[in-house]
Chain A
Amino acid sequence: MKVAITGASGFVGNRVVEKFFLENLHEVVPVVHSFSSLALPARFNMTWKVADHFSEQALSHAFDGCEVVVHAAFGSPLSAMSKAVYRAADKAGARRLVVLSSASVYNQNVLPGTTEDSPLPAKPATSYNANKIAADKLIRDLRAKGKTEVVFLMPSVVFGARSQWVAGVANQLLQGTAFLINDGAGICNTIYIDNLVEAVRLCLSATDVDGEAFFVSDNETVTWKEFHNPILAAMGATTEDLHLLYNPVLAGETPRELMRLRLQGMVETKTVKRIKPHVPEKFMKVYRLLQTPLKERRGEPDMWMPPPVKRPQVNLDMGLLQQCTYKLPNAKAERFLNYHPPVSFIEGMQRSIAWLKFAGYPVVS
């Protein structure tokens, strides 16, 4: 089967390309947004496509002749990209679009008992959640008018080689800012990258799944402590090297922060990018001022204060994720896709640590 993969240089997209190509599973067409994103696909002697991921026309050329499109790209504004991808897949005559969505459509801290049939939260907890919900809804609306089928996969913490989750913990350890909330007792809904690629593979040809969305995760129930421990051990660290936080007060996104994000989204649209050079400088000054976080505008810190101690930055997304109490169910994916994760959490973590070493992190064991 000929399969196009958007965001082919990203963590998930790259691994789909690698696995499908190296295991001769399918003919792959990696699609990247710009020439500078070719580093990973270019390791192979294959035909890649460079297409603006916000341009329906460019993408439809890239998808030409592909039976399925796997949408693994992430960009801002997300809805504009989703719209271009669906329309391009439809125009190119693709049979199916597999969308790498996220469990975040049910917020970062998914409520116990949630299934794929549960209604989406009326009030998304963060702008990331809201963007994901809007993008998926847009694709569903377009599906109602188009011919290309859609299937959504909703993983949560996808880890493996080149994962920000794995490298993130390693980087935080090196910076002295790694942390666990409530002793890391919260549930970390992991899915090892190869298990997600397996779910993608199943989605290509599964029957009667048009419009369906699936939670996908590892078989094991893993806590955040269990997720951190192997990385700590690999880097010769212990829980003493972590900041242990208990029921931290999580700062919500203030109206000002939300306005800043909205403005940023507007500025990143193609139309605004085109007219930006012609915008008078005084308007740009106001924009830049709004973009500057308030604390940065308050001036120099008190010169008599002792040097600050390094503390972790716990954003709302991360704070909620680490306090999750619910293991996402694989039941629907098992039933419709015959999904059975082939790699155990432990094995996935060992492979992730092998990558940390490959990437030059100071792995000691």
Chain B
Amino acid sequence: MDTSKQESVEAIVVGCGAVSQMLYAPALEALERIGEVKVVGLVDPAKKQKAGMQKMFPSAAAYDSLEQHRLSEKTLVIVATPPKFHAPQTIYALQQGASVLCEKPMAASVAEAETMIEAAGNAKGVLAVGIFRRFFPAFEAMKSIIDNKPFGSLQKFAIQEGGKFAWAAASDSFFRRDMTMGGVFYDLGVYVVDSLLWWMGEPEDFIYQDDAMGGVEANCHLNLTYADNVRGTVRLSRDWQTPNRYDFQFENAKVVYESSQVNHLKIIINGLSFALDAELESIVGKIGGNEITAATRTNPQSFTAQLRNVMAAMKGQQQLRVPGEEAIRSLRFIENCYASRALMEMSWLSNQERKRAETLAAL
């Protein structure tokens, strides 16, 4: 890649809905201010959505489709459309020589994701997938704690995440089976499954249940078994407020991540009558035996870090943290879960309702 290291990346945002307006826009605006990126194009067939983004990037050209803009090796195409459009838009951009940051979930199916990876293999640009939790300091710390065992081996874990769906969805694409592979497990679950695969690899066994009855699930439950009899549960919801926490029990301590506290971990060491509510800091040096520490990334800064990682990878300066090959693993696992899904136990339904629910769930 002959892109100059000093040259700023030209970004095109495809899909100007809630995720673009609430996450990509402020991060891109910040990086524009320090000259690392220039937003040159906004693509969305819906005028209203595009107008929202145009307010933030008035000099960017507005298009109804990606084909209307000439792409080059220094273009980063951010694909933030509903998942069924991810594969065609990503493949087109890669074929035109651009790099792509595709919002999660990577694609509407594993088969589509495979075609995206294949296209990236034949292209000059890079293919990254937007799973910005990989940049959370707490998640990096959890990975390190699992790998290095400062509290002993992992014994079990329980993850509960989600709440009443509150995302400012601009359309019903999150909920239509013709637009999405699934509900909460496909949406929020991508993050959770990706983290688990990153931290612990593939489980030996799993049991998956959800409450979809002909549509997409609002609740799901996953039981996981790993080597050395490590067991875990995942409970996700877009229906009801969960405690939003990850409890990881090690031999000598419990480590708790509370959702959105991306640079915090709670550590409860066995035998102590107090808990450590720890703010994570990066160790940036050591002088005379004293560690020098600095504040680490916040939630929005983690999002910005993801964009910077992709842009640095475009310039050959950094390794891509979440390439397509890495992101497809969670999608593959989710697809396997859906293939073996069972209906969650909902014993408050009448017998007649349960019978019909089971029939609908099996369709």
Taking the complex as formed, is A160 at the interface, i.e. its CB lies under 8 A from any CB of chain B?
yes
A221 → chain B closest CB, angstroms: 23
Taking the complex as formed, is A91 at the interface, i.e. its CB lies under 8 A from any CB of chain B?
no
Q: Is B240 a contact of A162 with CB atoms below 8 Å?
A: yes
Task: Point out the residues of chain B lying under 8 angstroms from A23, CB to CB.
Answer: 350, 352-353, 356
CA distance A273 to B243 in the complex (A): 33
Taking the complex as formed, is A262 at the interface, i.e. its CB lies under 8 A from any CB of chain B?
no
- Best-surrounded residue of A161, A355, A359 (most CB of chain B within 10 A): A359
B264 → chain A closest CB, angstroms: 20
- Best-surrounded residue of A43, A358, A359 (most CB of chain B within 10 A): A43
Query: Quick one: given A22-B353, A35-B170, are A358 and B344 in contact (CB under 8 Å)?
Result: yes
Q: Is A351 a contact of B348 with CB atoms below 8 Å?
A: yes
Q: Is B345 a contact of A358 with CB atoms below 8 Å?
A: yes
Q: Closest B residue to A171 by CB, please name it.
A: B241
Q: Is B353 a contact of A18 with CB atoms below 8 Å?
A: yes
Q: Is A36 a contact of B167 with CB atoms below 8 Å?
A: yes
Taking the complex as formed, is A95 at the interface, i.e. its CB lies under 8 A from any CB of chain B?
no
Task: Point out the residues of chain B lying under 8 angstroms from A299, CB to CB.
Answer: none
Taking the complex as formed, is B107 at the interface, i.e. its CB lies under 8 A from any CB of chain A?
no
Q: Closest B residue to A359 by CB, please name it.
A: B240
- Proximity bits, A2-45, B CB within 8 Å = 1, else 0: 00000000000000001100111000000000111111111111
- Proximity bits, B315-352, A CB within 8 Å = 1, else 0: 00000000000000000000000000000111111101
CA distance A9 to B154 in the complex (A): 39
A157 → chain B closest CB, angstroms: 17
Taking the complex as formed, is A79 at the interface, i.e. its CB lies under 8 A from any CB of chain B?
no
Task: Point out the residues of chain A lying under 8 angstroms from B243, CB to CB.
Answer: 360
Q: How large is the interface on A (under 10, 10 to 19, 20 to 34, 35 or more residues)?
A: 20 to 34
Q: Is A44 a contact of B166 with CB atoms below 8 Å?
A: no
CA distance A40 to B218 in the complex (A): 6
Task: Point out the residues of chain B lying under 8 angstroms from A36, CB to CB.
Answer: 165-169
Residues of B within 8 Å of A, CB-based: how many? 45
Task: Point out the residues of chain B lying under 8 angstroms from A46, CB to CB.
Answer: 214-215
Q: Is A354 a contact of B348 with CB atoms below 8 Å?
A: yes
Within 8 A of A (CB), among B211-226: 211-219
- The one of A43, A160, A161, A194 that contacts B216, using a Cβ cutoff of 8 Å: A43
Q: Mark the stretch among B27-35, B231-239, B284-292 that contacts chain A.
A: B231-239
Q: Is B215 a contact of A45 with CB atoms below 8 Å?
A: yes
Taking the complex as formed, is A156 at the interface, i.e. its CB lies under 8 A from any CB of chain B?
no
Taking the complex as formed, is B171 at the interface, i.e. its CB lies under 8 A from any CB of chain A?
yes
CA distance A19 to B174 in the complex (A): 24
Q: Is A358 a contact of B171 with CB atoms below 8 Å?
A: no
- The one of B166, B175, B219, B360 that contacts A358, using a Cβ cutoff of 8 Å: B219
- Proximity bits, A275-294, B CB within 8 Å = 1, else 0: 00000000000000000000
Within 8 A of B (CB), among A161-192: 161-162, 167
CA distance A191 to B286 in the complex (A): 66
CA distance A38 to B176 in the complex (A): 10
Taking the complex as formed, is A50 at the interface, i.e. its CB lies under 8 A from any CB of chain B?
yes
Q: Which 6 A/B pairs are nearest by Cβ-Cβ distance? A: A42-B175, A45-B214, A351-B348, A22-B353, A35-B169, A39-B165
A residues in contact (CB < 8 Å) with B:
18-19, 22-24, 34-46, 48, 50, 160-162, 167, 194, 351-352, 354-355, 358-360
